[in-house]
Structures are given as structure tokens and as C-alpha cells.
Chains A and B, each alone.
Chain A
């Protein structure tokens, strides 16, 4: 059976992706900062889908452990999904460098560190798929998501570059741009129902896109056009808007 690695498996989207791949006969490696928390998910995946499943310690901010983490994996994952991310209170983060730094380092630096490691291995083997969960927030900078959006923008750009670098090596890189999703991260925000997805829907769309080897997907699809419209507002106008 093929194996999928979920980096950030305690997040709602991480759980949904793990279950989706397990239901399609993948073995699952769950990685998170508190792997002991993942024991119930581990048993759930084993019992529901008959898949092998184990939980591993992984901390996006401990860059120097990343190479060791990946080389210890057995079996090596055929698909690696980078789901982890953090959204802090932007007003607080603007005042507190520690929070800003944490958002940048989790959403961008940590992701680059582990995905570089994985990409090197995949390139050497001439196979593998990397799926990075970025955000539509990264498509245009704005006040209310100042740091989160810029870190995600950097991550989106990194994934595009990595896709380009890996293409000739038979390694596929997919960028996922979710819009609003009902998760822990957004549970205190009033989200408009019509354009908000559930983690299960996100996972279904990601799995289908993986099968079709898509490059960039928006979840749901209309977010591509929402962001397109937002993208063409001239900056002289955009900067005056309260976003």
C-alpha cells in the first residue's frame, strides 16, 4: 500500500485529509507537535479503513530536526502533505515581534525547511508528490491579515518554484488555496455559508486533484475568480479599502 505523510495532523483539515487517503487504501503517517494527542485518530483510521497508521513527533519550528525526522520515516511516504499553519491575532502580532516571527516561521520557514528535505529525497528517487496547503489570503496583502497573508504568499511562491524545479525529476508539487473553511482556526469568525467549505469537502477536492495531478487548486473553485477580481483592483484604490 502507498503511504501518505500528514504534517500538521492535529488540524481539522489534516484529520480530514488523513481519513480521505486512508479510505483510498493509503497507509498514514501522522505528524504533529503533540503526537500523543493523535492516538485516538490513529486507532480510528486503523479500525475504519484497515490502514496502517502511526503518530510521530514533528515541530515545524525545530528546523534542525527535520532531516532526521524524514530519514527516520519507515516506510517513506509516497505523498507528503504540508497542512500545518498558524494564525495569530494580527493586532497583537503587530505589537509583538515574537508572534509575528512565529507566524512567519511556522507558515513559511518551517514549511520550506521540511519540504526542501522531502523534495531532495523525492528528486533522488525520481518520484513522489508534495501537496502544500497555502491560503487565498496570500494572493493579495491586506491590513487585517498582514503577517499571515505575507507568510502564505511566500509559501505559495515557494511551492510554485518547487514545482518548476521538480517537474523534470518526475516529482509533482500541488498548491492548494483554500478559501474560508470551518475549522478551529476560523471558529470565532462569522463566515458566509455560501463560500465556506467543510474540512471534509477540502479533503475530497484535494484527493481528486491529486489523482489528476493538478498544479494549483482553489477550494472551492470560485475562490479563484473571487481572488482574480480582488487581484485586479488597482493598488491606488485597494489601499483605501478596509479589508
Chain B
């Protein structure tokens, strides 16, 4: 029967349990793999999964860019997302690891608190924030996320739950922060919040005609809590590295206008635009070029602009466009983020030159100055960090390998959360603490039961 097929589609669901593989990818849509995705809502269900699955990698909201949270089997924390405590007077927040930052903001902002560190998207989980040891625009002042963790629980591959903090089981703590989920499943995190008087940001926006000027501005305004710059990667000559520096402070009530004062701790209205499908990859570049040129050349924009805006456009400008990653087309993109020591400014110039000569990168790059940080495997260290997107195309991987060599030559390193392609040597040279990290992973994940495509590629869980 012809129509039989339709009803089969609608109704026939096999009763026997089958391993169902699903196509998944992280934010860069590269690589895309088939994976058996498992969920748990209760510790008991997690124990069942640990007993059943031979190997796996924990996964949050899939907002890292490359292959860090991809494997044959992924254990998702997204249903393990309950708020456990919120001390409104002390500003201490505790939750299960699958909770996303946007949901945390909804609870803490009206109570006069903010995230101690936030990345450029609020759609990441707390567990992901720890596993990537995320940094924000305030790294030079407040450090990375791990700096604000009081204590947390890790469920090891063996099923045992281990509590850790900078004081207790310190090795596990240090290898979990930035450890890409390889020590175990981060199950519960307790961290400190930042006090705010209003939900608004006092923003200063400054134009810099070239890289020299931009770096000078970073230095001049280093007392600002938040700072980041957008750089035009295409300009050469005198305008090489022209950009816009964004500085911010949490606004006090006295900074607000009458309208804002009515509800100083208000949450932004939910307005989102969706990219419903993949676009040809040149489209996003056209958009960003136009937006940047508008900011840069518009007569209304003086060298310096000061205004008070909501925290959302300041911290999460791209979150307003759901699935903006689809703007890079079906083949996906690789985000390349490296950090170079402060004295290696020439390296920065060399890399930017190579990128603009090649002409395959995104038009815009994000530049930020990191403060000091000592850690085993976390990405941030003192220096300049630059991030930009490369749509996937032939020749890209070879080109990035070349860039890697320059990064290493100047004593820099790459961010594993953005990575989908670096070679093991690049990681080894960039992270002096790597062997220590591998030792700790081996101690807590002795059989390599927890591994990802990335950890296989970088030999983090083998050898």
C-alpha cells in the first residue's frame, strides 16, 4: 500500500531499544559527526549511563567551536540544570552544570548581581564555562571564570563524585578548569557573583586609526573593567589595524537617564532574530563590513562616544541573532584564537599581515589584552589575544598550520575551545603545563574512558 508508508512514518516506532545516532556539531558546524547523545536529569541516571557506556565525552550547549565536546557517545548535561542555592546577600550562586548563563542572568540581575566573568554569548552552560575556563572583556581585571569558583563536584568515569576547589583536591580542580571535560563530568559548581547597582553599562567607544594607536588606547584605559576591540583586518599601510575600542563599566544609578532609573535592574526584553537556514558564506562578511564601516565612517560618530546601554548589547551583541553561525554556510567555519605575550607585538602584526594577504579570513577580528594568569591548561595568559573566523574551504587547514608556527615562534598558544584542527605539537609547545595536565587526567580518568575527537587528535587521553 502506498499510504502505508506515511503511517509507518507517523506511527511506527520500534519498541526495542536501539542506539540512535544523531548528527551533531559545535558552533563552527565543523566538523559534523554522528553521535549517540545521552541525557540525565538525576544522579542515578548518570550512574546508569556511566555503567553502560564504554567511552564518552560530557557535553553542554555545544557552543565551543570545534571538536572538543564531540565523540561517538556524548553525555549531555542539558537536563541537569537546576539552581541549588543563591545567597542574595553574599552573592554566591550554586547550580547543576547544565544550567545556561542566560537563565542565571534572569535570576541574579534583578537581585543586583552579575556574572563574575562572561564570554561573548550567554548560551553556554556552567559546566562549559568551567571546562573552557572562559574569559571575558574583564580578564585583565578579574581573571578567568575559574578565579571565581568556590568549589565544585566532578563525577569521575568510575562513577565516584569528587569535590574539589583551590584548597581541596587541587590537582583535579586545576586540570578541570580549562580541561575540556576530560577529568570527569562537572556536575555542580558554586561560584561568586559580582555586585551591580544597575543592569546598565556605561560604554565608551573609541576609534583608533591603526594598530599602534589601538594598543596605546588599551594601555591608556587599562583601568576600565571591560575592554575589547574590533579590528578591520583588510586595511593596509597607515590604516593597518584600524579599529574600534569598546570600554565599559557597570553603571551606577546616577549614570542612568530618567527612563532607565524607573527600573535600574531591569532585564532586557527578549527579541531575537533567527537565521533559519545556512547562507552562502560571503553574506556574513558583507554584513559585517557594512556594519563596521558605518561605525567607523558615520559622521555622527566622533572619535569618542559615551553612552549608557543595557548589558545585553554590550556583552552579547551576536546573541540577538540566533544561529548566526549559519551565516558561514553549510561547510561551517573555524574560529582561530591565539594569545601572544605582550612583548610579541610584532608577531601580532606578522599574523595580521599574513591573514590580510591571504584574504580568506573574516573581515573583523576581536582583539583583547589578557592580564596575568598562572594555570595548567587554561588558555589565558598575559598578552594579546586575537580571534577571527575562517569559513572552511580548501587550503584553509594548511594556512592555519602556517599561522600556528608563527604563534609558537613568538611564544603564544591557541584556545582549545575554538580548535578543530591544531596538531599535537602546537599544543605541546604552547602549554608548558601539558604533561602535568595529562598526568592528572590519567589519575582521574585512568582508562581514557572519557575522550573526545579533540583529545584523540591531540593525544590528551592516550600515550
Q: Write the residues of chain A forming the contact surface with B, with a CB cutoff of 8 angstroms.
A: 10, 12, 15, 37, 40-41, 43-44, 47-48, 89-91, 142, 144-145, 184, 186-192, 195, 226, 230, 240-243
Contacts and interface: CB of A to CB of B under 8 A. Distances in A.
Main secondary structure of the interface of A (DSSP, over half): helix
Interface stretch (B4-12, B158-166, B199-207): B4-12
A242 B96 contact: no
A231 to B, nearest CB: 12
Interface in B70-85: 79, 82-85
Contacts of B4: 241-242
A12 B41 contact: yes
A40 B79 CA distance: 12
B446 to A, nearest CB: 29
A89 B13 contact: no
- For the residues of B in contact with A, the DSSP-based class is mixed
Contact of B12 (A37, A41, A240, A242): A242
A227 to B, nearest CB: 10
Contacts of B45: 184
B297 interface: no
B10 A41 contact: no
Contacts of B16: 89, 91
A90 B15 contact: yes
A199 B61 CA distance: 18
Nearest to A146: B15
Interface in B1-27: 1, 4, 7-20
Interface in B294-319: none
A97 to B, nearest CB: 17
B107 interface: yes
Contacts of A90: 15
A144 B14 contact: yes
Contacts of B85: 43, 47
B459 interface: no
Identify which of A37, A89, A188, A243 gathers the most chain B CB atoms within 10 Å of its CB. Answer: A188
A201 to B, nearest CB: 16
Contacts of A190: 13, 20
Given A89-B15, A144-B13, A243-B12, A188 B20 contact: yes
B410 interface: no
A101 to B, nearest CB: 17
B444 to A, nearest CB: 24
B18 A10 contact: no
Given A192-B9, A195-B10, A230-B11, 15 more contacts: A10-B42, A37-B44, A47-B83, A90-B15, A184-B39, A188-B17, A189-B20, A191-B13, A192-B10, A230-B7, A240-B1, A241-B4, A242-B4, A243-B7, A243-B11
B10 A226 contact: yes
A47 B42 contact: no
Nearest to B9: A192
28 contacts: A40-B84, A40-B96, A43-B85, A44-B82, A44-B83, A44-B84, A47-B83, A47-B86, A48-B83, A48-B106, A90-B15, A91-B16, A144-B11, A144-B13, A186-B13, A187-B38, A187-B39, A189-B13, A189-B20, A192-B9, A192-B10, A230-B7, A230-B10, A230-B11, A240-B1, A242-B4, A242-B8, A243-B8
B11 A142 contact: yes
Contacts of A37: 42, 44
Interface of B: 1, 4, 7-20, 38-39, 41-42, 44-45, 79, 82-86, 96, 103, 106-107
A180 B97 CA distance: 27
A151 to B, nearest CB: 15
Contacts of B107: 47-48
Contacts of B84: 40, 43-44
Nearest to A41: B82
Nearest to B38: A187
A122 to B, nearest CB: 31
Nearest to A88: B15
Nearest to B80: A40
A226 B106 CA distance: 38
Contacts of A44: 82-84
Nearest to A179: B10
Nearest to B42: A37
Contacts of A48: 83, 103, 106-107
Contacts of B103: 48
Nearest to B108: A47
Nearest to A148: B15
Contacts of A10: 41-42
A132 to B, nearest CB: 22
B79 A241 contact: no
A15 B12 CA distance: 27
Contacts of A241: 1, 4, 7
A190 B10 CA distance: 11
A186 B15 CA distance: 10
B41 A15 contact: yes
B10 A40 contact: no
Contacts of B12: 144, 242-243
B41 to A, nearest CB: 7
A241 B12 CA distance: 10
Contacts of A189: 13-14, 20
